[in-house]
């Protein structure tokens, strides 16, 4: 199998560390990828018409599966004028025999946005139990009312098993809200927390995203601490993409999350994990998983060898002696 070396800077202590060679066959088109394993099969969900789905036995050779939604959910068409079933940034998890898939519908560049939920008993499309049940809207942001954006969801459960949803893009950053046990709405009384944000020009109209480029939260628990991964700067611009992955750490799920220097992410902090270079224009919108005792960073990158098209990337994730994540060479 033809391979080539992918060099991406690992911004740790100012050193650039090359990543391992990766099979070209694994570089499938993907944007905002998330991953899960059912039995011996991995399923990758990502942004696309109806939510794009791919399957693999080895995380290298992938094949496309039918999308989650053949037609746009009726509630989403009503909620977001002009919505055409191009669904963003899904999040997949498994709990008590049910696969839960959160997803985003939005008007690009506006916070006319919603997060929906679909569930399934299996991810195997050949199973007689395979059927996606859509539960509709969970969280909604409205221009002029909310200074946050209801996209890029990630479900995380605390030590007691209580479900929380983190999400957000631009505006006033990354939010966190506790969900009801059935995941279909925020728990009451509603309490909205800000986990991370970047400086935003206060003169901008509230309906504009502004220059506080932060999005794509993902919370992962390791060694008793919680790690909030987010993406800084700009995605979706091909060769002009400047996406980078940053992280902060907290002792409790609700924060505060601090970077390596002790600066809170809520005050603009963030320790860089990966950034682009001449081979990959930008790297971001990551998720983190443990398979067979090894942690993996899953994300997309804008491939300089293919006109800046977005591709799936999967790299092993290690932890240094201070407990900070590093991409394993």
User: In angstroms, how far is the first alpha carbon of the chain from the final one?
Assistant: 20
By CB atoms closer than 10 A (0-12, 13-18, 19+), residue 159 is: exposed
Residues 6+ apart with CB under 8 A from 145: none
Annotated catalytic residues are 32, 215
Alpha-carbon distance of 135 to 223, in angstroms, equals 34
Residue 236 CB coordination number (10 Å): 15
Assign 3-class secondary structure to 17-55.
Answer: CCCCCEEHHHCCECCCCEEEEECCEEEEEECEECCEEEE
Residues 6+ apart with CB under 8 A from 36: 42, 43, 45, 92, 93, 94, 99, 123, 289
Q: Is the link from the previous residue into 60 a cis peptide, with omega within 30 of 0?
A: no
Q: Is the link from the previous residue into 90 a cis peptide, with omega within 30 of 0?
A: no
Residue 209 CB coordination number (10 Å): 17
Alpha-carbon distance of 175 to 22, in angstroms, equals 34
Q: Tokens 């728990």 identify what position?
A: 187
């Amino acid at each position: 199998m033809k391979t080539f070396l992918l060099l991406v800077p690992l911004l740790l202590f100012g050193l650039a560390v090359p990543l391992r060679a990766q099979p070209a066959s694994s570089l499938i088109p993907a944007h905002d990828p998330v991953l899960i394993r059912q039995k011996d099969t991995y399923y990758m969900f990502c942004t696309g018409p109806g939510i794009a789905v791919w399957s693999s036995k080895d995380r290298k050779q992938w094949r496309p599966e039918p999308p989650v939604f053949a037609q746009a959910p009726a509630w989403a068409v009503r909620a977001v004028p002009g919505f055409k079933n191009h669904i963003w940034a899904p999040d997949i998890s498994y709990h008590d025999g049910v696969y839960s898939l959160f997803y985003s519908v939005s008007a690009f560049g506006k916070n006319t946005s919603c997060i929906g939920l679909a569930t399934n008993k299996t991810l195997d499309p050949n199973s007689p139990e395979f059927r996606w049940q859509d539960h509709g809207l969970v969280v909604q942001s409205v221009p002029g009312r909310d200074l946050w954006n209801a996209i890029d969801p990630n479900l995380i459960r605390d030590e007691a098993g209580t479900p929380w949803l983190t999400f957000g893009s631009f505006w006033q950053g990354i939010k966190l809200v506790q969900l009801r046990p059935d995941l279909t709405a925020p728990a009451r009384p509603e309490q909205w927390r800000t986990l991370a944000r970047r400086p935003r020009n206060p003169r901008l109209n509230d309906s504009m995203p502004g220059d506080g480029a932060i999005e794509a939260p993902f919370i992962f628990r390791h060694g008793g601490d919680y790690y909030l991964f987010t993406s800084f700067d700009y995605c979706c611009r091909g060769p002009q993409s400047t996406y980078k992955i940053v992280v902060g750490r907290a002792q409790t799920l609700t924060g505060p999350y601090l970077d390596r220097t002790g600066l809170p992410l809520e005050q603009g902090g963030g320790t860089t994990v990966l950034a682009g270079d001449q081979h990959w224009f930008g790297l971001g919108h990551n998720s983190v998983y443990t398979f067979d005792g090894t942690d993996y960073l899953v994300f997309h990158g804008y491939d300089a060898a293919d006109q800046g098209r977005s591709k799936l990337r999967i790299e092993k994730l290690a932890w240094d002696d201070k407990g900070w994540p590093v991409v394993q060479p």
